Chains A and B, each alone.
Chain A
Amino acid sequence: MGYTLMILGLVVLLPLAALVLRASGTGLGGIWSVATDPRVGSALRISFGTSFLAALVSTTFGSVVAWVLSRYDFPGRRLVDAAVDLPFALPTAVAGIALASLYAPNGLIGSMLSRIGIEVAYTPVGILIAMIFIGLPFAVRTVQPLILELDREIEEASATLGASRWHTISRIVLPPLIPAVLTGFALAFARGVGEYGSIIFIAGNLPYVSEIAPLLIVIKLSEFDYAGAAAIASIMLVISFATLLLINLIQAWSRRRFGHV
């Protein structure tokens, strides 16, 4: 227990403390002026808003993918199952380049979409696509084990007792999955907020339009404004922590409400 806490402290808390220390170099007034800068505000809105949307999409589709992979047998299922993890292993820059070349106006998908007037690459939609790509495996992998554990007999019992399929899903199948779905959501959300490598290749990086907060941190650093960069990072840290805490609280509530699994 003691060792574990020490390692946690060394590996996680120490760098975070150093970050906050660096930001405190500007004082609270300095952090406040960074926080109220409209460009920083817009970047934070883009980062957190898009991550939230992306996490919603990831968890919805991720749960469906997890369901299909655990309940259906089809040729190549194992291959698909393994492919789900690929975004974990891919360097994010590679993911960004792959997505950008696919969705660029001269790319495979981008050329089709641009014919009907939809632009994905180099717009905020591009950010969303990149975040879904990297967030999906988290959603799948957190929900999948629980689906495998679900007792089919309970569903059958529910069916024989006259419940419709929809009734069975909403009352029997979903409730025990909800804590895991929320975990998947939290992980996908956190991953999206922190993502840099893949997004800068597919977002246009235009200030006030498609500039994410991590990019603004890099820009501050290239102005040699370490305190400003640390200030944005600290603000992101606080918002992320608050969001994750909220999700954890909802999770605890849902566990009480729907029973522990």
Chain B
Amino acid sequence: MSRLASAAQGSRGSRASRTLLGLACFLALAAAATGPASADTAILNVSYDPTRELYKDINAAFSQEWKEKTGEAVTVRASHGGSGAQARTVIDGIPADVVTLGIPSDIDAIARLTKKIDANWRSKLPNDSLPYTSTVVFLVRKGNPKGIKDWDDLVRSDVKVITPNPKTSAGGRWNFLGAWGYAYEKEGRSAGKANDFVARLYRQVPVLDTGARGSTVSFAQRGLGDVLPAWENEAFLALDEFGKDKFDVVVPPVSIYAEPPVALVDGNADKNGTRKVSEAFLQFLYSDKAQAIFAKHHYRPIKREAASPQDLALLPNIKLFKIEDLQGNWDKIQSANFDNGGLFDQLSKAGH
């Protein structure tokens, strides 16, 4: 180390000022790069990980409709990543006009920590601000060699389960809550038994990836595990991406009603002067055109009549339970399960 330090001390005088000049140039360039890029209206949609393909279609459809209606050009830029990490970028100051995240508690966090979103954002748009819903299904190896049919099979000692860390991934949280809710209903509404069930399930997990995409790769490409509980849309995407001849989708008879909500970031939209177009974008998500696109990408539309029948056929009618009905409001759900010292922390402590 000290050899390096003495080498660094050798630079002084003119070399140092040249370095300073370089630094100044670099800062100037960086400032220029982040300046306004075009005169067209642009809004930023900060979204979660699996929606890349979805919002590519939605954004194009919205731009076209906005142009027809108002004659103005609008570009919707989308940013994707783990739901929690994306919420954090908004909290840290990314000027998102709208957020479309994987779980309500992530939008609650933005509202609580920045006040840029109204605290009762969920009542501002139809259907609790859910333009579409989803659920958790199981991706298994072709032919389902382990005979996995229901949540019970996930805790069998011969079954290895691949699921992301619920602390970092919204998909991971839905899997966790799905398993908990299943056991709670089955065991006569006993929270203690549901906790045990989830503890047994996570003992069958050899790898905890940080995001849903990471888990999909571990399961599909690395060949790890026997079953991947996943967003319904992600499971079908994996079939399309990695081959229908390698995997099957198993839909359990009961699963969780997964709620990926959307919201306007009032504080940012007002500052950017984009409130009108941002609100129109969110309203557009409830239009027949957008609803059909959701179904095409294997999300569950709230207006089934708008979607094409063959897309709907892949989304079978199963019994879905709402976690709020079992555990209370989202503040409670988040703090009891996933916050520091919550159920997930207790399970991993007890497991070792």
Contact = CB atoms under 8 A, between A and B. Distances in A.
Interface of A: 1, 3-4, 7, 38-39, 100-101, 104-107, 121-122, 142, 179-180, 183, 186-187, 200, 204-209, 215, 218-219, 221-225, 228, 244, 247-248, 251-252
Contacts, number: 103
- State the main secondary structure of chain A at its contact with B: helix
Nearest to A206: B208
B168 A222 contact: yes
B14 to A, nearest CB: 10
B277 interface: no
B348 A224 contact: no
Of B19, B206, B209, B339, most buried by chain A (CB within 10 Å of CB) is: B206
B93 interface: no
B16 A4 contact: yes
Contact of A100 (B4, B8, B222, B349): B222
B348 A208 contact: yes
B307 to A, nearest CB: 33
Of B9, B109, B224, most buried by chain A (CB within 10 Å of CB) is: B224
Given A104-B223, A228-B340, A39 B349 contact: yes
Contact of A101 (B208, B221, B340): B221
A251 B5 CA distance: 14
B221 to A, nearest CB: 7
B352 interface: yes
Contacts of B351: 208
B321 interface: no
Given A106-B222, A186-B1, A222 B82 contact: yes
A207 B346 CA distance: 11
Contact of B224 (A7, A39, A122, A200): A122
Contacts of A7: 16, 19-20, 23
Nearest to B338: A223
B191 interface: no
B12 A251 contact: no
Given A1-B12, A101-B221, A222-B85, A122 B168 contact: no
Given A7-B19, A219-B165, A248-B2, A208 B349 contact: yes
A38 B348 CA distance: 11
Contacts of B9: 1, 4
Of A204, A221, A224, most buried by chain B (CB within 10 Å of CB) is: A224
A104 to B, nearest CB: 4
Contacts of A223: 84, 167, 338-340
A104 B222 contact: yes
Interface in B80-111: 82, 84-85, 87-88, 91, 109
A130 to B, nearest CB: 15
Contacts of A38: 349
Contacts of A1: 9, 12
A43 B167 CA distance: 16
Contacts of A251: 1-2
A244 B1 CA distance: 8
Contact of A104 (B16, B23, B210, B224): B224
Contacts of B109: 224
A230 to B, nearest CB: 14
23 contacts: A1-B9, A1-B12, A3-B20, A4-B16, A104-B222, A104-B223, A105-B223, A121-B222, A122-B207, A122-B224, A206-B206, A206-B208, A207-B348, A208-B351, A209-B352, A218-B168, A221-B88, A222-B88, A222-B168, A223-B84, A225-B340, A248-B1, A252-B2
